């Protein structure tokens, strides 16, 4: 099967420091890839490079579009690229205030992408928003509240609904559970796992938490100082790490 996403030789230099050094991997439809590593390992930069928010110094990102043709994202026009980002891709941010419009109601947040692709029927937009709020377990009577009145966990669930409303095939997630209470984390992870399986989403999730990787991902990619140290099936890598650094990472989690 042809992969959904192919990343090759992705490199980014900040001054003298290599944030990402020749990163390459492929992602199949419906596959969940966890990118793990310490802070400063380059994993968040990698996500920004894939999303095209930061320009790469070298390398390429190719994506199989809905029409089946694989395109190098660099060759897309700005219009095509932005259309792709707000329909077929999603991006769930670590900081919900970066991923939501904090002054706009929950319904407006979920409806924005629909209106962005031309839906002009208020009743239909609102019904879809209600449906999605229910799927992320936000009560219907909160639809007109802005996210400023939501808890951290609710904001992340709202972000997920806002991203999934256009039925994207690929979702990037940057530490979606960090900063949340353990019980809130567990509920959110459970929900993400359910949605990913139900919708057949491909996901690249960046996390420093190996437990998150184990729970959600099929494969993991271990990064350190901008390089991929080790990659493989999640269970394999976490149960039988080959690289010394991965062993250290795994054992430190176990010790904690």
Cβ proximity to another protein: between 113 and 224 the closer is 113
> Which of helix, strand or coil describes residue 55?
coil
Cβ proximity to another protein: between 124 and 193 the closer is 124
Cβ proximity to another protein: between 98 and 251 the closer is 98
Q: C-beta of 111: minimal distance to another protein in Å?
A: 6
Classify the phi-psi angles of 6: left when phi > 0, otherwise alpha if psi is within -120 to 50, otherwise beta.
beta
Cβ proximity to another protein: between 113 and 135 the closer is 113
Among 251, 227, 229, 228, which residue's Cα sits nearest to residue 239?
251
Q: C-beta of 173: minimal distance to another protein in Å?
A: 23
Residue 28 CA to residue 127 CA, distance in Å, equals 32
Q: C-beta of 178: minimal distance to another protein in Å?
A: 21
Among 97, 94, 100, which residue's Cα sits nearest to residue 39?
94
Q: Are 119 and 125 in contact (CB under 8 A)?
A: yes
Q: C-beta of 57: minimal distance to another protein in Å?
A: 12
Q: C-beta of 169: minimal distance to another protein in Å?
A: 20
Cβ proximity to another protein: between 107 and 176 the closer is 107
CB atoms within 10 A of CB 144: 10
Q: C-beta of 109: minimal distance to another protein in Å?
A: 8
**Binding footprint of another protein on the chain (CB under 8 A):** 13-16, 78-79, 82, 101, 104-105, 107-108, 111-113, 115-117, 120-126, 141, 143-144
Residue 41 CA to residue 19 CA, distance in Å, equals 7
Cβ proximity to another protein: between 59 and 111 the closer is 111
Convert 116-128 to b/e letters by CB count within 10 Å (16 or more is b).
Answer: eeeeeeeeebbeb
């Amino acid at each position: 099967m042809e992969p959904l996403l192919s990343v090759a030789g992705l490199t980014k230099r900040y001054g003298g420091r290599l944030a990402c050094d020749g990163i390459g991997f492929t992602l199949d439809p419906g596959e969940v890839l966890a990118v793990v590593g310490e802070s400063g390992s380059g994993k968040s930069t990698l996500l920004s490079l894939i999303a095209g928010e930061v320009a790469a110094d070298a390398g390429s990102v190719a994506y199989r579009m809905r029409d089946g043709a694989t395109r190098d994202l660099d060759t897309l026009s700005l219009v095509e690229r932005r259309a792709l980002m707000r329909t077929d891709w999603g991006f769930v941010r670590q900081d919900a205030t970066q991923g939501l419009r904090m002054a706009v109601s929950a319904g407006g947040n979920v409806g924005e992408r629909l209106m962005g692709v031309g839906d002009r029927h208020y009743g239909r937009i609102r019904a879809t928003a209600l449906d999605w709020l229910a799927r992320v377990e936000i009560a219907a009577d909160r639809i007109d509240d802005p996210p400023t009145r939501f808890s951290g966990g609710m904001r992340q669930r709202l972000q997920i609904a806002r991203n999934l409303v256009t039925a994207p095939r690929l979702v990037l997630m940057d530490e979606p559970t960090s900063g949340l209470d353990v019980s809130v984390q567990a509920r959110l992870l459970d929900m993400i796992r359910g949605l990913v399986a139900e919708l057949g989403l491909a996901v690249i999730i960046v996390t420093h938490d190996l437990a998150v990787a184990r729970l959600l991902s099929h494969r993991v990619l271990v990064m350190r100082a901008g390089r991929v140290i080790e990659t493989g099936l999640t269970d394999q890598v976490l149960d039988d790490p080959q690289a010394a650094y991965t062993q250290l990472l795994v054992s430190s989690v176990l010790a904690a």
